[in-house]
Structure formats: structure tokens, C-alpha cells
Homo-oligomer: A and B are copies of this chain.
């Protein structure tokens, strides 16, 4: 009694009064824990009078259930970890890319809609942060080849959700875009507009997507018997990518079309082209893989290949939640289509 009355605080009574617990409400209302719990959760068969009394008392006392205790009972925390693998060097830079910004926010929204919250985690070195977190699963967006995170997670028996590279592994689910189809569609479009020397700019990355893009480009060029010209950007970010674009533009073979598969500000690419004496679209057809909304507002507007981060997120979370709640009844993965948004920058004016 005295112990309870003296509070559960440590030394020197803390400024925060002890939280109201279920048992406090029960005592106050002259009911048992069970009854109050049932009343609040709408379960069990209680008389309306009792139910109302319990609810009223809880409200009056400002009772809020302890989420941790509920989780322990339920066996799940409804928490999903979220890591972007691509930026292992700068573990937090990813949010500055419109693609990942949209992917992240759409993922969080889709998860929350189904009652799961997203926890932001860093890529790269600090593996093991997740050890102290009650994560029901972890999403690894665009893992790079040398990142052990997927292995570690799988070894720890935490369900992993990532790209198609994990296909077939137990406990692993995936969602991916069809990089090859997207590249083919784009190059076909450029060819139809008259391009004969389409150059490709992409970052020097081991992401499944970038590897797939490069392979598809080479394949397409070979099949069409058209020359291939690839310039690798040393790193992500506007600076290095713009430099790579300039390299492509000033190379021995003056390209007549440019496909930029790296997050870069479209207006900056346009400006770079102008600086080097190209008129877009007359001298150069331009397509950027980008979710950047500035593409619509440039002069001319820039054609973009959208990877549909919102669709990826929605499809992915749906699959993940199904797997989590029904013991992977459905398929382990799903492919989401890309969208080529044709605008003036890749339309022949003739």
C-alpha cells in the first residue's frame, strides 16, 4: 500500500506523475481489469450501463493504453524498418532524391493505412541498430551488391522486403520495376523520333536497377545495330551527374539523344545541353529517369521515365502485409510497370 502510494518513481519524485493504468481505471470505476478492457476494446458481452461507466471513467482519468504492453501480448509491434541501401556511403542522402522521397513517403502512408508504422534506418555501416527495435519486417530499398544487410536480416529471421535480387529466398519478398522493358520502351521512342546515336548516362552503382538498365541498353543497341555510348557518373548528386552529361555531350560521337538514368535536376541538364551548343529537342532528344516535378516547368518540358514510386510502395506494402498476416499465402514478389511521360524535350519538331 505505502509502496504503491509513494509512487513508482526513482529517487527524488519525478516531475511527471505516474501514468494512469488499466487497473487504476478499474479500481476507480469499481470494476475489474477484464471488464474495463472489454468495455474499451468493444469485445465481450457487457451490459451497456457497465460499458458506458468504464468508458466514462477512462475518459475522465485520461487513460491511454500502454502500447508496449499490448505489443507484448499481441506478439507483434506493427513496426516496419525502412532502409535505403543505395546510399551506403552517405546513409541519409537518399531522401534528397525525389524518387526516394516519394517512395519513402508513399511507403509510410501505405503502411500506416494498414496499421503499420515505418521506422527510418540508416544504410551502410551502422548495421545492428534494428537489433533493439521490435521490427515485424524490414524494407530494404535498392540494396547494393556489397551490402550485407539483407543477409544479416534474413539470418536474424526478420522478414525482408526488397527488390527482385532475393527472389526464391525464404522469408524474402520483393517488388521491382521492369528495368529492361522500360529501357526498351524509351529507346524505341527515341528511335521513332529519329535518334540514331542515343547515349546513356548512369551512375556507377551496383543497384539491381542500374545493372539491369545497362544490360538492357547494350542488348537493345546490339539488336538494333546502333552504336552504344555509355558514360558513368562517378557518384550520385547533381554535380557528378551533370559532369557526366557534359562528358557525354562533348564526346567523340556527338549523340543525338540522351537518356539520363540518374537522379538529376532536369533544368540543370537542359542548361548543360545549351551550354554545349545543343538545342533541345532539335539537336538533342532528352529523356530523364526522374520523379522531379521541375521537369514539367522547364522550357521545353522534359520527357521523364517515371519509376512509379507510389505504385511500387503501394504494391509492396500490400504484399508485405499479406505475407505478415497470412503466412505468405500469396506470391513472393510483384513487378510494377514504369511510365514514360513524353514531353517536348523528346519530340521531333520537324
A284 to B: closest C-beta gap in Å: 18
Please report the C-alpha to C-alpha distance between residue A16 and residue B64 in the assembled complex, in whole angstroms: 33
| Shortest beta-carbon contacts, A-B, top 10 | A92-B105, A67-B134, A267-B267, A95-B101, A108-B120, A68-B134, A265-B294, A68-B71, A95-B105, A68-B72
- Does A19 belong to the interface (CB within 8 Å)? yes
Total interface residues on A, CB under 8 Å, equals: 65
In the complex, given contacts A64-B157, A112-B126, what are 16 additional A-B residue pairs having Cβ atoms less than 8 angstroms apart? A16-B157, A67-B131, A67-B132, A68-B72, A69-B72, A78-B132, A91-B109, A95-B102, A104-B120, A117-B119, A118-B119, A238-B297, A242-B297, A265-B267, A265-B297, A268-B298
User: Measured between C-beta atoms, what is the minimum distance from A112 to chain B in Å?
Assistant: 6
Give residues of chain A (208-255) contacting chain B, Cβ–Cβ below 8 Å: 237-239, 242
**Which of A15, A66, A96 has most chain B Cβ within 10 Å?**
A96
* A112 near B98: Cβ-Cβ < 8 Å: no
Question: A69: which B residues are within 8 A, CB to CB?
Answer: 72
- Give the copy number: 2
Known A-B contacts A69-B72, A122-B109; A19 and B96 likewise in contact (beta carbons under 8 Å): no
Task: Evaluate contact between A112 and B108: CB separation under 8 angstroms.
Answer: no
Does A70 have its Cβ within 8 Å of any Cβ on chain B? yes
A133 CA to B132 CA in the complex, in Å?
A: 16
A146 interface contact, C-beta 8 A: no
- In the complex the two chains form, what is the Cα distance from A114 to B152 in whole Å? 22
By the criterion CB–CB under 8 Å, are B77 and A68 in contact? yes
